[in-house]
Amino acid sequence: MVAQEMMDISSEKAKPTEEVTGKKLGGLRTMPFIISNETFEKVASYGLHANMILYLMNEYHLGLATGTCILFLWTAASNFTPIMGAFLSDSYLGRFRVIALGSVVSLLGMVVLWFTAIFPHARPLHCDPKSGDKCVPASSAQLMLLFSAFALMSIGSGGIKPCSLAFGADQLHKPENPKNARILQSFFNWYYASVGISVMIAVTVIVYIQVSAGWVVGFGVPAGLMFVSTILFLFGSFLYVKVPANKNLSAGFVRVIAAAWKNRQFDLPTKNFDGWYSLKGSKLVTPTNKQRYLNKACMIRSREKDLGPDGLAIDKWSLCTVRQVEELKVLISVLPIWSSSIVIAVIITQHSIPIVQATTMDRHIFPHFQMPAASFSLFGILTLTIWVALYDRVLVPLISKYTKRPRGLSFKQRIGTGLAISCLAMAVASEVERRRRNTAIQEGFANNKHGVTSMSAKWLVPQHCLIGLAEAFNAIGQIEFYYSQFPKSMSSIAVALLSLGFGMGSLVGSLIVTVMNNVTKKGGVSWVSSNLNQGHYDYYYLVITILSLVNFLYYLLCSRAYGCCEDKKIWDEGNDDEDMKEEEMAKSGEHSVIFSA
């Protein structure tokens, strides 16, 4: 009901929510509901994803390469849908509604997946390949049911991922507070740390339940947690600051492109031109010189033809405001740096291969304790969480004394450091796999993919730690970079760009595995064979290492071309919905054109 009331507000849309309602909303008291929602959702979703490759191989009788590609595609879908969720939240429904809907759909997907474990006919007949049983492949109907569960969970994550972080920032955003930037940075870091803790619980507790109690209980617990997550989020709805949706945002991008194309035949004006179109009270009255070809979209050629009696644009598809042009410009400007995140996303999202590697190694951490194969990613998450806390509380004060920046390292320095560490992580992974494969062959397991070597799985820990460290630098750096460059109305899109990068990385990862499986196949065995001992996953990691090095050099070029990014642009935060603002101006008779000398 509260969300519906917020969507019905018109004349007060530019005002803070607490001014409209007369109540003090937001603040730290909302954090338990938002963080607990995110925590339970992450425990549930990651708990299902962590061990999924073994479920596909053991219960659906899929090969490693096929299962890896399916999980890459599932990860890609889960990271692409946030783009649609971001536009829906920022342009139409608002973040609260999108998070609520996403939670319900994600819960439905987890219940469907749970049903595949409960009902025997929902999956192929069980078989034991170690005993020489011939396994029956899954039918089309069984795979469709499984994929529908994946699809629902992907759609649900599309509502939660891009909005949860931005929704939390909305509760703490106080521009008048001089410490606002530092508070938001700490929130970003600790939010990401809470996600890390959630994933740690998922890859340990949930994975242990799946291994010890079976898939029925192992899938039922995440579904129950997702139910709790949804209830907790809805329970705190009366306390939230709900930033109104900017219905002009998505249409504004298209209008700027259309207007610039329509006006392409006109020459750009000189520096002293004073006919740029802006709304009254706007702080953005002159467009920047970046992507100057888009400036034609906000250029008034003839006041009589372009403007009505009220001073507003007659055709919004031929004349846009300076702010609309600048919003599209900043989105275009960050795309080269964003594209450098695709290769590191391949590294971060490839969970399947290390898990299968761990199943062929000695997983005893202690003499009487054997760690589940999927739980070794714990070390990467642990590294990420510890580093975030250490960097925020210890290193930032020290580094800032030398860099003269309150954040320590710049956004671009953090992103680049993460890319460099990812190169090292893949080089280490290649060497570890080379040694594991040689050990397996020496011990007579060349034709036995289920054989467990004497080599300790602890050798996998360094690569997991390096990947966690790379993600801590790169991912958090990306979030802060996008958030600093975009207006508040685009904050969900800013966060969704990170998800989009992971989605593209997953698609590229699936493509690499597919191409490598087809190109390197000799005698029916490829580098990415289901039998790790016959394949060459050390070569696979080496290819990723080379791609990472090339990507790092590409990032350096993009970073240099982008220029300085530390000074945040001043946006019209009070006029986020320009369509509504124009309607109000038309009713009140206010003139909307700002002439700048």
The pLDDT value given to residue 106? 92
Closest CA relative to residue 572, chosen from 306, 324, 379: 324
Residue 314 contacts by C-beta under 8 Å, 6 or more apart in sequence? 305, 306, 307, 308
Enter the pTM of the model. Answer: 0.78
Is a pLDDT exceeding 50 seen at residue 597? no
Q: Is residue 593 part of a domain?
A: no
**pLDDT over threshold 70, residue 558:** yes
Judgement on whether residues 217 and 257 belong to the same structural domain of the protein: no
For tokens 């958030």, name the residue. Answer: 483
| 258 and 371 co-located in one domain | no
* Residue 22 CA neighbour count, 13 Å, CB half: 0
Condensed to tens digits (0 to 9), the pLDDT of residues 293-346 reads 898 888 888 887 888 887 788 888 888 888 888 888 888 889 999 999 999 999
Indicate if the pLDDT at residue 274 is higher than 90: no
Question: What's the mean pLDDT in 536-554?
Answer: 95
* Same structural domain, 341 and 314: no
State the CATH number of the domain containing residue 94. Answer: 1.20.1250.20
Domain count for the chain: 2
Q: Which of 41-45, 131-135, 354-358, 481-485 holds the top average pLDDT?
A: 354-358
Residue 256 and residue 350 in one domain: no
Instruction: Please report the DSSP string for 275-322 in residue order.
Output: -B---TT-S--S--STTGGGGGGGB-S-HHHHB-TTSSBS-TTT---H
Helices 180-201 and 31-50, packing angle to 10 deg: 40
Residue 493 has pLDDT above 50, yes or no: yes
Q: Give the helix/strand (H/E) hosting 32.
A: helix 31-50
Q: How much of the chain is in helix, strand and coil states, percent to nearest 5? A: 70, 0, 30
Q: Specify if 373 maps to a domain.
A: yes
pLDDT grade, residue 409 (50/70/90)?
confident
Interior angle at CA 400, CA 399 and CA 405, nearest 5: 135
- Decide if pLDDT at 14 tops 70: no
Q: Determine, yes or no, domain membership for 495.
A: yes
Domain annotation covers residue 158: yes
346, 164 contact by CB (below 8 A): no
Tell me if 569 is assigned to some domain: no
Cβ(159)–Cβ(103) below 8 Å: yes
- Mean pLDDT computed over 408-417: 85
Is 163 among the domain residues?
Answer: yes
- Within-domain flag for 567: no
pLDDT of residue 587: 43
Residue 563: both structure tokens together: 């220029």
Do 204 and 228 belong together in one domain?
A: yes
Q: How many residues does the chain have?
A: 597
- Quote the tokens at residue 196: 């890390």
Percent of the chain with pLDDT over 90: 32
Q: Is the pLDDT of residue 584 over 70?
A: no
Average pLDDT over residues 359-388: 87
Residue 92: which pLDDT band, with cuts at 50, 70 and 90? confident
Are 122 and 201 contained in the same domain?
Answer: yes
Q: What is the rounded average pLDDT of the residues 354-367?
A: 90
288 shares its domain with 424: no
Mean pLDDT of the chain: 81
Residues 426 and 444 in one domain: yes
State the residue range of the domain holding 257.
249-320+574-588
Whether residues 462 and 545 fall in one domain: yes
Using the predicted structure, report yes or no on whether residue 26 has a pLDDT greater than 70: no
363 and 467 both lie in a single domain: yes
Residue 550: count of CB within 10 angstroms of its CB: 12
Residue 403: the pLDDT is: 63
* Residue 100 sits in the same domain as residue 113: yes
| Whether residue 98 sits in one domain with residue 36 | yes
